Chains A and B, each alone.
Chain A
Amino acid sequence: MALNLRRSAGIVILLAALLAAIAIGIAAGAVTLPLSAVVAGVLHPHASGDVTAIVWALRLPRVLIATLVGAALAVSGSLLQGMLRNGLVDPYLTGGSAGAAFTIAAAIALGAPPPLFAGLAFVAALATTLFVATLARRGRGVSPERLILAGIAISSLFAGLTTLIVMLAPNASVSLNILAWLGGSLVGHGWNDLGWAAFYAVLGLIVAATVVPALNAIRLGDARAIALGVDMERTRWLTLIASSLLVAAAVSVSGVIGFVGLIVPHLVRAVCGADTRWTVPASIPAGATIVVLADAVARTAVPPVELPIGVLLSLLGVPAFLFIAFRRRQAA
C-alpha cells in the first residue's frame, strides 16, 4: 500500500513537472516576450503579428514535438529494457533508428517531400527491426543476446551507408541538410510534422499498452512468465513493433537524439520501482519533461544561436542520472 502511494505520488509529481516544463518551454525563447504576450499568442492563434507567429507557429509545435519525442523514446526504452531484462538497452539498439535515419537521408538526397518522412521512417524502422529480429530468431522465439548483436551490426551498417550518402550527395546544401537533420535537433518542424509523428506515436503507445502486463511477468524470468501463461513469442514481436512505431515517430521529427531512451527508464525505476505497469506510463512524463527542458535551454542559452540538444541532454541528464544511481546504491 505504501509502495502504491509512493508510486502514485511519483506519477503526480512527474505530471506536474511536465506541465511546468511545457509552460517554461512556451514562455522562454531566443526572443524575449512578456508573459501576457505569450498567453495572448497561445489563445489567439489567428491574430496577426510577430508575437503570434513566434508563439503559435514556432514555440508551441516545437515544445509539443519535444514532449512527443521524449515520451516516445523513454517508453520505447522502457519496453525494450523490460523485454530483454537488460538496463543497457536503448531504443536505437534494434537498428530501427539507424534504418530510419538512412532512409530519410536518402529521401533528402533524392529530393523527396518532407511530409513523406514520418511514413518512410516508420516503414524503414519497422522493416529494419523485423529484419534484425529475424536474424536473432532461435527456434520459435527471438534470442535477446542475438537481437542485441544483430541490432548493433545492422545499426553500424546503416550508419556507414548514411555517411556514404552525405559524402556522395550531389551538392553541398543537400549534405548540410542531411547533417542538420541527423544531428538530432528539433529545429524546423511545424504542426503538420507533429500531426504525423503523433499518429505513429499513439499507435505505438496503444500496442505498448497491450504488452505491458506480459512484460511485467517476463521481469520474473522467462520460465515463470511462461508458467503464468505469457506467450513469449507474441510478446516479443509486439514489443518490437511498438518500439519501432515510437522510434519512427521520434526519428521523423528529431533525427537521432541519444540518451533519453537509455537513461529515463532508470530514473523512472528509481521513483516507481521495477513494476512495468508503472514504469512504462511513468516514462511518458519523465522522458517528455527532460527533452522539453533541454530544448528550452538549447533555444535560450546563447541567442541567436541554437545549441545542439544532444549536448544539453548530456549536461543536464548525466548528473541527474549519476546522482540517482549513486543514491540508490548507497540506500541498497
Chain B
Amino acid sequence: MSLVLAALSVSAGLRIVSLAPALTEDLFAIGAGPQVVGVDLSSNRPARANALPRVGGMSDVNTEAVLALHPDLVVGVPLEAAPLADLGRAGVRTASIPLDGLQDDLRAIERLGVLTRRQAAAHRVTTALRSRLDRLAAGARRTRRLSAFVWLGGMGAAGGGSFVDELLRLANLRNVAGDVRSPWITFSAEQLLRAQPDVVVVPDPSAPLRGEPWDRLAAVNGGRIVRVPEDDLFRPGPRVAEVLADLIAGVRPWR
C-alpha cells in the first residue's frame, strides 16, 4: 500500500540519489538515469554516472551532501541502514534494497521500477535478463563440469550463497569453497591443495598468484586462471548476464 502511495507521489522530475553501484546501474538500465542526481563513490557505470556528484558510500555516506542534492528518493543497501535512517528522519523518502543474490538482483530492478514508476521498463529488463541467464546456463550445462576457486585476496574465498557462487553454479562450475555458507571466508591452504580446483577465478586487476600454496596448484601452474573485472565479480546489477557469459567463455578452453 505504502509503495503504491509512494509511486503515485512520484513525478517526472524525481530526484534520485543512489548509494550502491549496482542500484545506479539498475536505475540507468530502466531509463531512470536522467533522474539520478548523486551517487556513491563506487558507482562508475554507466560512464554517465561518473559525471554525477559523489556522496560517499557504505560506512561513510555523507548525509549532508545527500541532502544538499535535494533528493526525493534515496536508494541504498541494508548495510547503509544507519545513513538511510538519518535521511528518513530528515524527511527524505528512502528505500533499503537487499542485493545478496541473483534473485535479489532481479527483485531490486522490479522494485526500482515501482519506486520510479517505470514498472514496464523494469519488467522488460528483468524478463530479458532472466531468459538470457537461462539460455547461458542451459548452454553451460551441456559442457563438462569443472571445479573452481574464487580468490578474494590473502586466502580469502567466495563461499556458498554469495553472488559469485550463484554465477559459478549457472556457469556449471563447482565452487570448492561452496560448502561453507558464508560469502567471504578465509580458506584453508591445505584444503585448497587437496581440492586442486580445475580453474582459479581472480578479480582483475590483482597481483599475480605466487608463493605457497599457489605454486603447487595445477590450475595456477597450467595458467588456468580466469580474470573477471573486479567490479563485475563483486557487483550484481543489470549486466549479470554479460558477466556470466564472460565467465563461461573464460573457462571454455579447459572444458
Interface set of A (CB-CB < 8 Å, partner B): 29-31, 50, 53-54, 57-59, 61, 111, 114, 167, 171-177, 179-181, 185, 187-190, 192, 299, 303-308
Known contacts A114-B211, A185-B186, A304-B177: A173-B153 contact under CB 8 Å: yes
Q: Residue on A with the closest CB to B206?
A: A173
B188 lies within 8 A of A305 (CB): yes
Q: Which positions in B face A, CB cutoff 8 Å?
A: 60, 152-156, 159, 177, 179-180, 182, 185-194, 202-203, 205-207, 211-213, 216, 230, 234
CB closest residue in chain A, given B153: A176
- The number of inter-chain residue pairs (CB within 8 angstroms) is 101
Give Cα A4 to B203, complex, Å.
59
Given contacts A53-B213, A171-B230, A304 and B191 within 8 Å (CB-CB)? yes
Given contacts A172-B203, A173-B203, A188-B211, contact A305 B155 (CB under 8 A): no
Is A188 a contact partner of B154 (Cβ separation < 8 A)?
A: yes
The 4 closest A-B pairs by CB, nearest first: A180-B154, A176-B153, A30-B188, A304-B191
Q: Judge whether A30 and B153 touch: CB under 8 Å.
A: no
Decide yes or no: A53 and B216 within 8 Å by CB, A31-B191, A58-B193 being known contacts.
Answer: yes
* Residue picked from B159, B179, B202, B213, most chain A C-beta under 10 Å: B213
A57-B217 Cα distance, complex, nearest whole Å: 12
Residue in B154, B188, B205 whose CB lies within 8 Å of A303: B188
* Other-chain residue from B152, B159, B190 in contact with A58 (beta carbon distance below 8 A): B190
A58/B212 contact (C-beta < 8 A), A187-B154, A304-B180, A306-B186 known: yes
Docked pose: A173 CA to B157 CA in angstroms: 12
A58 contacts B213, C-beta separation under 8 Å? yes
Question: How far, in angstroms, from A179 to B153 measured CA to CA in the complex?
Answer: 9
Closest Cβ–Cβ distance, residue B183 to chain A (whole Å): 12
Q: Is the CB of A173 within 8 A of B205?
A: yes
Which of A30, A174, A192, A305 makes the CB contact (< 8 A) with B190? A30
A306-B186 Cα distance, complex, nearest whole Å: 5
In angstroms, Cα B154 to Cα A180, docked, is: 6
Chain B residue contacts of A59, Cβ below 8 A:
190
Q: Please indicate the chain B residues that have their CB under 8 angstroms from the CB of A175 in the complex.
A: 153
When distances are taken between beta carbons in the complex, the residues of chain B under 8 Å from A174 are 153
Which chain A residue shows the least CB distance to B154?
Answer: A180
Q: Look across to chain A and name the residue whose beta carbon is closest to the beta carbon of B202.
A: A173
Contact of A167 among B60, B152, B159, B206 (CB under 8 A): B60
Given A53-B193, A58-B213: A306 touches B155 (CB 8 Å cut-off): yes
Check A57/B191 contact, CB under 8 A, given A114-B211, A171-B205.
no
Residues of A within 8 A of B153 (CB): 173-177, 179-180
Instruction: Tell whether, in the assembled complex, residue A180 and residue B156 are in contact, meaning their CB atoms are under 8 Å apart.
Output: yes
Question: A177 to chain B: which residues have CB within 8 Å?
Answer: 153-154, 207
Residue of A at shortest CB range from B235? A172
- Which residue of the partner chain, among A29, A31, A172, A306, contacts B234 with CB atoms under 8 Å? A172
Q: When the two chains form the complex, which single residue of A30, A307, A308 contacts B191, counting CB atoms closer than 8 Å?
A: A30
- Docked complex Cα distance between A192 and B230 (Å): 30
**Is B213's CB under 8 angstroms from A187's CB?**
no
Contact of B152 among A57, A173, A308 (CB under 8 A): A173
Interface pair A180/B216, CB less than 8 Å apart: no
Whether the Cβ atoms of A180 and B186 lie closer than 8 Å is: yes
A53 to B179: give the CA distance in the assembly, Å.
Answer: 24
Report the Cα distance A176→B230, complex, angstroms: 12
Residues of B within 8 A of A192 (CB): 211
Q: Are B212 and A188 in contact (CB under 8 A)?
A: yes
Contact of A57 (CB < 8 Å), options: B187, B203, B213: B213
**Complex contacts, B203 vs chain A, CB 8 Å:** 171-173
- Evaluate contact between B187 and A304: CB separation under 8 angstroms: yes
B189 lies within 8 A of A187 (CB): yes
With A53-B216, A57-B216, A305-B180 in contact, is A176–B156 under 8 Å at CB? yes
Excluding A58-B193, A176-B154, A188-B211, 18 further A-B contacts by CB distance (< 8 Å) are A30-B188, A31-B194, A50-B193, A54-B193, A111-B207, A167-B60, A171-B203, A172-B234, A173-B203, A173-B230, A180-B155, A181-B154, A187-B155, A192-B211, A304-B192, A305-B182, A305-B185, A308-B186
